Amino acid sequence: MDLENTGALAGIRVIELGQLIAGPFCGQLLGDMGAEVIKVEPPRQGDPMRNWGHGDAKLWWEVVARNKKSVSANLRVPEGQDIVRKLAATADIVIENFKPGTMEKWGLGPDDLHAINPRLIIVRVSGYGQTGPYSSRAGFGGIGEAMGGWRYIVGDPDRAPSRMGVSIGDSLAATYGCMGALAALHARERTGRGQVVDSALYEAVLQVMESLVPEYVVQGHVRTRSGSILEGIAPSNVYPTSDGEYLIGANQDAIFGRLCKAMGRPELAGDERYATHVARGRHQTELDDLIADWTRTLTVDELEALMIEHSIPAGKIYRAADMLEDPHFAAREALVEMDSPRWGKFRMQNSFPKLSDTPGSIRSLAPAEIGQHNAEIYGALLGLDQAEIDRLSAAGVI
């Protein structure tokens, strides 16, 4: 592919040391915005994400490793650690998501790397953060979701807590790691110094939990699982149609009035049971039942036409096939087509958010081979000759 790099981070070099999701997704975001991302993988085995996906199609790697160059290095041996130090000396950002203490054990902790490159920004993503009594514990995304409060409130009230169908805890922590790196880049312009960005899975989840904690502190209120609704926010639900399901969010007073007109029941807007936000919340179940009785008489397309006509926030429940066919996705280029020697033509999500002057882009496919860019990075960037590269490879260092 090798498209022109128009991204805001063009000229920024990132060394990605992490594996699985939290570190690599941070690298994906930075790469989409134009950074050069050099991914360091274990020799021969590579990042486990290479083998994640549905059935025989291991396509998760194609998303999370796009816009990256792969080099191989064994971080558990001194020569591999020395390679990382040399890479860090040339870099702006290093990303890692190992268990806290691991980088220090390898001689690659912040003190070691800042001694080599004081301007380096080090993004550290972990389950519980780099400090505190739990910092040494192993932590995956689901654990962060549980500790941060997410899992307890997701699902139906008569069942055990559920999870989302995506690794939201990892992705949130990676996104906060990316945001911290961007803030640190700006601060470096003022101070000339790099710093550590400490992104904990549970804190990233906690950050999006709205008023869950203060509601408990002030009122003693404990949010619980409420299925497809938010308790007291009505009407806002997925409603049945004659040929599927449809999401309607009409909990604001004026919007609810427009929904009543669309239903042919304008009098409901003045009914004391539904006239205010608080009243609708008290009568949430009966209001949902009333709306569902109406939506069942319509197809999804008929209901959507009414929602658009009356300017009511609403929408279809999309699956991948719907996204591929939707004209809005097409008009905004929300999906980008890739042409892979292995998979042929396929589409994936584009780079977001959209910047007007320095847009991000998908410029290269995920590296197919472990260490695919060893010659380019170790030779051209670090100045190792081919004989040394061959020796390191034969020794299992790269």
Nearest-angstrom CA–CA distance, 156 and 152: 10
Same domain for 365 and 270: no
Same domain for 260 and 160: no
CB 13 within 8 A of CB 95: no
* Model pLDDT, residue 2: 62
Same domain for 75 and 126: yes
CB 250 within 8 A of CB 235: yes
Same domain for 106 and 65: yes
* Model pLDDT, residue 364: 96
Same domain for 69 and 146: yes
Mean pLDDT by runs of 10 across the 398 residues of the chain is: 87 96 97 98 96 90 97 98 98 97 98 98 97 93 94 94 93 98 98 98 97 97 93 96 97 97 97 97 97 98 98 97 97 96 95 97 96 97 96 96
Last residue of a domain, one of 318, 342, 362: 318
Same domain for 355 and 387: yes
Question: Domain for residue 231, yes or no?
Answer: no
Nearest-angstrom CA–CA distance, 60 and 62: 5
* Model pLDDT, residue 1: 60
Nearest-angstrom CA–CA distance, 111 and 97: 17
Same domain for 313 and 340: no
Task: Identify the CA nearest to 73 among candidates 89, 86, 90.
Answer: 86
Model confidence, pTM: 0.94
Question: Domain for residue 286, yes or no?
Answer: yes
Question: Domain for residue 264, yes or no?
Answer: yes
* CATH value at residue 100: 3.40.50.10540
Nearest-angstrom CA–CA distance, 304 and 246: 8
122: region left, alpha or beta (phi > 0 left; psi from -120 to 50 alpha): beta
Q: Are strands 196-200 and 121-126 parallel, antiparallel or unpaired?
A: parallel
Question: Domain for residue 5, yes or no?
Answer: no
Give Rg (Cα) of the chain. 25
Same domain for 310 and 359: no
Structural domain count, the chain:
2
Same domain for 170 and 25: yes
Give residue 307's domain range: 236-318
Nearest-angstrom CA–CA distance, 311 and 324: 25
β-pair partners for 95: 16, 123
To the query of whether residue 92 is one of the catalytic residues in this protein, the response is: no
* CATH value at residue 263: 3.30.1540.10
What's the token pair of residue 155?
């699902």
Last residue of a domain, one of 273, 291, 318: 318
Question: Domain for residue 227, yes or no?
Answer: no
Last residue of a domain, one of 318, 341, 360: 318
Question: Domain for residue 247, yes or no?
Answer: yes
Same domain for 281 and 138: no
**Per annotation, catalytic residue among 32, 92, 170, 198:** 170
Same domain for 302 and 257: yes
* Model pLDDT, residue 261: 98
Same domain for 370 and 242: no
